[in-house]
Chains A and B, each alone.
Chain A
Amino acid sequence: MAIECLILGAGQEVGKSCVVVKIGGKQIMFDCGMHMGYSDHRAFPDFSLISPSDISCVVITHFHLDHIGALPYFTEVCGYNGPIYMTYPTKALAPLMLKDYHKIMVDRRGLEEQYTCDDILQCMNKVIPIDIKQTIQVDKDLQIRAYYAGHVIGAAMIYAQAGEETMVYTGDYNMTPDRHLGAAQIDRLQLDLLLTESTYATTIRDSKYSREREFLKAVHTCIAAGGKVLIPTFALGRAQELCILLDDYWERMNITVPIYFSAGLTLQANMYYKMLIGWTSQKIKESYTVRNPFDFKHVCPFERSMINAPGPCILFATPGMLGGGFSLEVFKQWAPSDKNLIALPGYCIAGTVGHKLMSGKSTRVDLDDTQIDVKCQIHQLAFSPHTDSKGIMDLVEFLSPKHVILVHGEKPKMASLKQRIESELGIPCQYPANHETALIPTKKDIKIIASKTFIKNCISEINGDKRIAEGILIMEKGQNAKFVSEEEFRETVGVEGNAVNTVTFTQCLSLPNNTVSIETKDMILALEKELKKSIKFRKFEVSEDCIKLESITIRICSNNISCNFGKDEDAEEMAMHLFCSWSIRDDEMARICLSVVKNMESTV
């Protein structure tokens, strides 16, 4: 049995997360995201590789567009009709994100729409909300459960179990808590597969406190000199996090410089945050009893006319990464002044202005029609809601799954992380590219029947304070495997006396092609010589084509008729074979012989 993972997106890249996993015969789609760097067909996962009707359920981990952006397309255009699961906050906030994006892309940029606003609404109507640690029985065999993932509000890691096979898809997660969200939290589970994100596969971050200190210092210096600070950010998550940080700092340092939120979206989002207190960190939950921490004291809405108003200010503007929209508009105005500061929180996808700014000291940015001299300071904020490589390693170590698959990262970094997981934790790891399928072998439990006599023997031995029982396992084609006692075995086989000794074990080894030319006799002699090195003080009986030692017989046969029993199916037709047989009493010695023979194979 195996788990099949078809990577539809975010394989060796960041963006359009989408994985279809076939587990226990059930297909689950984890996330259904879009790529923000593209506006053509590459933006969506290639749904032609799957058939929507085969999917048992879709699970969305959180509301970021690269995890949910293609969902309306999949449901309304591709026609998926099954259940869709997401947490309550995701269900609440996802439509906001989708509509906002739709507005920007279709209404403002005039791109061709892949789905309509109605599609979004209809799609969201099909969503079944779930809660953290709530187990959902999708159907008879399949159950899923969500765990807290940090990252953004409502983000979840998904545990899925179908039959005997188990797996966890992490989505995006954060192993260190921040100001408004807790750290990821999961039980110790027995897993066959862990599908984890690896955005920061090689980064090890220092303490968040120093990052906060640096950010505050940069902002404070800028506004003290009368500059303006632009923080392009997603409306949800980072905006709130940084706002809590700044609001606290403003309070403590008695600063009166205004903090603006650009869009209505963020204000709307803040309203949701106020209601979703239960999904935040311990700190927020506790201070909620006194005051809602999302009622920011120093924050006010921004008017477009304020862009060129004199005096320092802080502005949170959407979208993040300066990918377009209002934040880019403000950037055009503010970037030429060296007093100002652009603080870029987190990751920027290649192709965005943000990425250009982060990648180096570029003094000039070419936009569609204009060139902008960038003189302002750039502060890179390591405020990422993604876990660092230590966090990934910690999670993998904690869960100790049998296999790991990395997604949502950059290829070279993933390779190095894979290396670490395999060498340090000893867990096999893969990082398939998009449209590749990874096969994860899983153990299959086999039903074994134990005979009554065997059980009786076991019980009597247990009473004698032994926990080990001896027996013989019989596996026959078309029948259940069976544990029997020795006597029963004798009866079955129909021999008397010491039944075990009468059983003969055989193995056929094929020698490489180039040995065909060697004479059988020479082969035997060479073999004898080798064997004598390992097994001393024993008498070998050597004949023309075979060597005998006690019950062990090693026979050379050049045709494959005499030894098709136990032979490798792939063996070359013309190859020379060694046919070994021995009885159980010489088992130990036989194994030594076999290893000698095998070694010879490689040395010949």
Chain B
Amino acid sequence: MEREGSLVPAVTPTCNPSNNPLPHPHCPLHLSSLSTALSVVLNPSTSIVTVHSTVESLLLSLPRLSTNPLSLSLALSVLSQSVSPHPSLSQSIVSTIRSLINGHDRNSSAVLSALLSIARSSLNKDGFSTVDSVLDENLVLSLASSRVYRVRSRILNLLVFIVGRWKCSSNNLTDEVMVRVLLGFIGDIYPVLRREAIDGLFEFLTVAGAGVDFCVAECCLDHAVGLMRDDDELVRSAAVRMVGLCGKILVEEKGVDKSEKMDTIFTQICCMARDMSVKVRIEAFEALGKLKLVSDSVLMQSLSKKILGAKNGGKSLVKLDKESKPSYACAAGAYVHGIEDEFYEVRKVACRSLGIHALLSIKFADDAINLLMDLMNDDVEGVRVEALDSLFHMAAHECLNVHEKHMHMFLGLLTDMSALVRHKARKTLRLMKLPKRGIFKSTVNELIANLERHPEEEEDIFFALFSLGKNHQRFSLSLAKDLAKQIEQTSKVDLALDKPSMAATLVVCIASPLSENEITPDTPVVLFSYAVALLGRISRALQGTVDRDFLLTFLLYHTNIKWKSQDLMAEVDSNGTNEEVMLSIIKLISKSIGNAWSLIKRSNGNDAERILRSCSKELEIISFDTSQSASTTVDFLSKYIQIVQLISEIWCKSDLRSSTTFQIRNHHVLLEKLDSSLRSILYSFTGWTKEVECHILELNLLSDAFTLSLAGTNSCNLKNLCAKISHLEAISCLSDFTKEVKRSIDKRSSGIVDLHGLFELFEFQELDVLKEMKSIKAELKVAGNDSENPLAFIPGLPIGIRFCITLHNTSSTDRLWLRMSVGGGPPQYMSLDVCNFEGSEKMRKCTSVIPFYESPNVFSFEIRVCVVIECSSEYYEIFKEREGGPKCDVTELSIESFVYFSSVKNR
């Protein structure tokens, strides 16, 4: 037989022909051979056959060992350990050792420990179920009534282990037998066994869950109640736990009036709340928390050390037998003792269970709050936290009824050493209903003190203040009035908005109107304008509760500064598809551009600028994530926004409002910019809808009107204007604005235009989603060129550059040029013939070598290259005296890119 990787050389010498480390079954068995057997069995490299034969000989030698308890127990231990690595052996081992049980008691205990360790060690349930299957009723009963402690203890261990996995066992033992045996152990003289038995029953009931037989629970309850007077504290604590569980189970029983039973159980556990052992007390309060359906009178009694009501007086207190029910007086003051217990573990649990019951009974809650509030003075943080948690849950269930006397203690928590406690206190405050204005005020003051001492908790404090204001509309209104009066009396210089107290009070004041979204006539509106200054801080604190934009809009609305939300994303329904979301965003943007327009008209340039800037930022963001069709719109809109921004700048920054004379100092730069932007938008897109085209043309007219005012009448200008107006006439009926422009041109062919009137007439048109629109654009690439890999050139000689050009949506009539320029020098234009390109109108491609003629006499240089389109239409016919270049103004279709060159000499 082969041994793979013999890791256990010690084994080899003792091996007999079959590699079995054990001597013949009839030879005496030595400890050394047992240890050898163990190492053989446990060595993962041992072959299966060896293991089997080893185990087999061990099993054969077992009967001989029954007279030698030490060897027997060692042999059994070897066997039980062999099950874990070799689960297949469990069957034979278990059935063999099972047969040994009937012998001597000591053997039984050894066998039982072996069985237990087999059951425990098997990872799969094979071993466990094998063990389970050999235990039959008679065997268990006889072992359980053994006189030997070890046997009883082992069988109990085994049973408890089985109970824990009752669901997956073959149930060789019936529930009844199991329960009977375990109940039998409850009377054992050894506390360890009593405790284990109770734990077993506990496990049994837990595993059985909802399907438990109520009679069994009832029976367990009786026995556990009996054990609550046990001398051993561990037995008592297990018994209390058991009683609690039984109570929990029996509540589910249907068709029986359970309230009396629950009262009895509650009282019984209450008696244990005065136990001398900490463990028992902890279990007792734990169990109290599990009970439901307890009557109010008993619950109330547990809060008072004095006996409530005369009818229970004088009854016997002690008898805890099943026959006589304990008087409710036993429950007296259980919770009072619980919360003033020496051990914080007990106080904590008592607090928790107090909180649970408070949720179930309003009457109880009213009194329980006294005790919980007392705990605010506790010296252990954990207890204070637990008490606060209970208060919070009570507040959340609207059964927290605070009184004035509590508040002093409670508010003290806001200056607590522990941040957690402070946080929990504020959390509770958020939900609290304060009975009096004075309390409300002192609460606000305490929160302000909290803010002053711990500015890092501002967000949380603001939130608490906000909720406080929201919940106490009347109080906060009067506070608001006080504040308004105070602001009125203080000079503006002294008024420090960043003072914590001011900020905090403002938060309280705005809370109620904001959450109701309406203001009463006597709300001091002036506060809102102060609150605007704290927008960032407030909105951060109210994250998740109040939307920042809503807050802003609300505040502005009521302070008469009116404008719309900037954060466009907020209004968008984010549930649609990507495309839909995009479109709705775009719609919103175009809407807010409209808002900007109206602001510009009112000469509120700054605000308009802010809106436009945020719009373009928004566009920038979504441009990363847009489909082809939407990206056209995005491009269009961003260009459009540029135009509006320029108009805003020109209009609002000039002193047009004061004079009709357009006295611009450096506005010609802006006008030039505007002009070129307009040109660019007009020539970079095709597929206009009529309205949009009209609008753009009107913008052109506006721009021209500006120019006219600046530069005075110029025939060329006028001609352009007329051309545009006639074009407008051709496509649709004229707007008031256009008519006015036309009229002023007609009326006085030279002179000053009434810009004011014109501008008033100008109307913004909602830019519809521009579905049909296509953007004309180009892409330009020079293969293999960047600043690291420049092209070679010989200074002075022309350079051929291989361009790869892609054109989108160009028509064959468009006149396209490639503009190349070095530094600030005059550009060189090269005409691009669309016919040389391959592809359709939608996309054309071409790779060609285009020469650049004027290479400078330098070592290296770069040229800027760009595809441009000639703006050749009736109203842009400005013929330039230029050689070989475009005849009209141009506008860029591609991004300006660079081509790098390096002199050949350089190499």
Contact = CB atoms under 8 A, between A and B. Distances in A.
28 contacts: A183-B341, A184-B276, A186-B276, A187-B231, A187-B276, A188-B231, A204-B305, A207-B339, A207-B340, A207-B371, A208-B340, A209-B339, A209-B374, A209-B377, A213-B374, A282-B343, A283-B342, A388-B305, A390-B332, A393-B317, A397-B274, A398-B276, A423-B316, A424-B318, A424-B329, A425-B316, A426-B316, A426-B318
Given A205-B305, A206-B336, A424-B317, 19 more contacts: A176-B340, A184-B276, A187-B276, A206-B305, A209-B339, A209-B374, A210-B374, A213-B374, A281-B342, A283-B342, A283-B379, A390-B333, A397-B271, A423-B316, A424-B314, A424-B315, A425-B316, A425-B317, A426-B316
A204 B317 contact: no
A116 interface: no
Interface string A182-225: 11111110000000000000001111111011000000000000
Nearest to B329: A424
Contacts of B318: 397, 400, 424-426
Interface in A254-313: 281-283, 287
Interface string A392-424: 011001101000000000000000000000011
Interface string B311-349: 000111110000000000100110011011111100000
A447 interface: no
Interface in A355-406: 388, 390, 393-394, 397-398, 400
A390 B275 contact: no
Interface size class of A (residues with CB under 8 A): 35 or more
A536 interface: no
A390 B306 CA distance: 9
Nearest to B304: A206
B412 interface: yes
B87 to A, nearest CB: 38
Contacts of B332: 390
A177 interface: yes
Most buried by A among B314, B341, B377: B377
B849 interface: no
B374 A183 contact: no
Interface string B839-865: 000000000000000000000000000
A183 B317 CA distance: 22
Nearest to A254: B415
Contacts of B337: 176
Interface in B366-388: 371, 374-375, 377, 379-380
A386 to B, nearest CB: 15
Nearest to B344: A282
Interface string B501-518: 000000000000000000
B274 A213 contact: no
B409 interface: yes
Contact of A183 (B145, B342, B379, B412): B342
A213 B379 contact: no
Contacts of B409: 213
A465 interface: yes
Contacts of A393: 317
A477 interface: no
Interface of B: 145, 229-231, 271, 274-276, 305-306, 314-318, 329, 332-333, 336-337, 339-344, 371, 374-375, 377, 379-380, 409, 412, 415
A465 B144 CA distance: 12
A208 B347 CA distance: 14
Nearest to A253: B412
Given A212-B377, A283-B380, A426-B316, A182 B274 contact: no
Among A205, A207, A398, A423: residue with most chain B CB under 10 A: A207
Nearest to B341: A177
A205 B377 CA distance: 19
Contact of B317 (A176, A252, A287, A397): A397
A206 B333 CA distance: 9
Contacts of A212: 377
Nearest to A189: B231
Contacts of A213: 374, 377, 409
A397 B375 CA distance: 28
B331 to A, nearest CB: 12
Nearest to A252: B412
Contact of A188 (B145, B274, B276, B317): B276
Given A283-B379, A283-B380, A425-B318, A177 B340 contact: yes
Nearest to A281: B342
Interface in A570-585: none
Interface of A: 176-177, 182-188, 204-210, 212-213, 248, 252, 281-283, 287, 388, 390, 393-394, 397-398, 400, 423-426, 465
Contacts of A426: 316, 318
Contacts of A248: 379
Contacts of B230: 188
Contacts of B341: 177, 183
A133 B803 CA distance: 100
A258 B813 CA distance: 100
Contacts of A388: 305
Nearest to A394: B274
A177 B339 CA distance: 11
A206 B231 CA distance: 30
Contact of A207 (B229, B271, B329, B374): B374
Interchain residue pairs A-B with the least CB separation, the first 6: A177-B342, A209-B374, A424-B317, A182-B342, A394-B274, A188-B231
Nearest to B339: A207
Given A209-B340, A283-B379, A390 B305 contact: yes
Contacts of B375: 209
B413 to A, nearest CB: 11
A443 B480 CA distance: 80
A182 B340 CA distance: 11
A424 B145 contact: no
B334 to A, nearest CB: 11
Nearest to A423: B314
A393 B412 CA distance: 36
A282 B342 contact: yes
Contacts of A177: 340-342
Contacts of B344: 282-283
Contacts of A423: 314, 316
A188 B317 CA distance: 18
Contacts of B317: 393, 397, 424-425
A281 B374 CA distance: 19
Contacts of A182: 342
Contacts of A183: 341-342
B379 A424 contact: no
A208 B340 CA distance: 7
A182, A206, A287, most chain B CB atoms within 10 A = A206
B333 A185 contact: no
B336 A204 contact: no
Given A390-B332, A423-B314, A425-B317, A398 B342 contact: no
Nearest to A181: B342
Contacts of B231: 187-188
Contact of B276 (A185, A209, A400, A424): A185
A391 B368 CA distance: 21
Contacts of B343: 282
A210 B336 CA distance: 11
A209 B370 CA distance: 10
A416 to B, nearest CB: 13
Nearest to B412: A252
B234 to A, nearest CB: 12
A426 B324 CA distance: 14
A424 B316 contact: yes
A182 B318 CA distance: 26
Nearest to B232: A188
B70 to A, nearest CB: 29
A531 B451 CA distance: 92
Contacts of B340: 176-177, 207-209
B328 to A, nearest CB: 13
